[in-house]
């Protein structure tokens, strides 16, 4: 895949840049929890509620960058 074919995930990349992380091809629940500064239980709740959809890959559920970009793009701002 060359640079013109590389998928762009600007929202996810911005979050990762703040945390000095780089874009990965796959993410685990625990890694995702660290990125979003939430508990692994919160990730599981997002899955259960249908807000976040993992890929069923051998071994465990994983998340791909494109799905996370869509999740961020469609998420609503919550109250703090």
Number of H helices, E strands in the chain: 4, 3
Q: pLDDT averaged over consecutive 10-residue blocks of the chain (80 residues)?
A: 59 95 92 95 94 86 93 77
* pLDDT for 57: 80
Strands 26-27 and 55-56: unpaired
Hey, where are the domains in the chain? 25-75
The continuous run of DSSP H or E covering 45 comes out as: helix 40-48
Instruction: Please compute, for residue 38, the number of CA atoms within 13 A of its CA located in the half-sphere on the CB side.
Output: 11
For 37, the token pair is 């500064």
Residue 12 — φ and ψ, nearest 5°? -65, -45
* Its pTM surpasses 0.85: no
* pLDDT for 25: 87
* pLDDT for 79: 56
Q: How far is CA 22 from CA 10, 44, 48, 57, in A?
A: 12, 23, 27, 22
């Amino acid at each position: 895949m060359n640079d013109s074919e590389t998928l762009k995930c600007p929202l996810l990349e911005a979050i990762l840049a703040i945390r000095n992380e780089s874009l990965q091809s796959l993410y685990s629940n625990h890694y995702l929890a660290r990125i979003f500064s939430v508990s692994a239980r919160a990730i599981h709740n997002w899955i259960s509620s249908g807000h976040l959809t993992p890929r069923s890959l051998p071994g465990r559920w994983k998340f791909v960058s494109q799905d996370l970009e869509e999740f961020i793009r469609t998420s609503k701002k919550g109250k703090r």
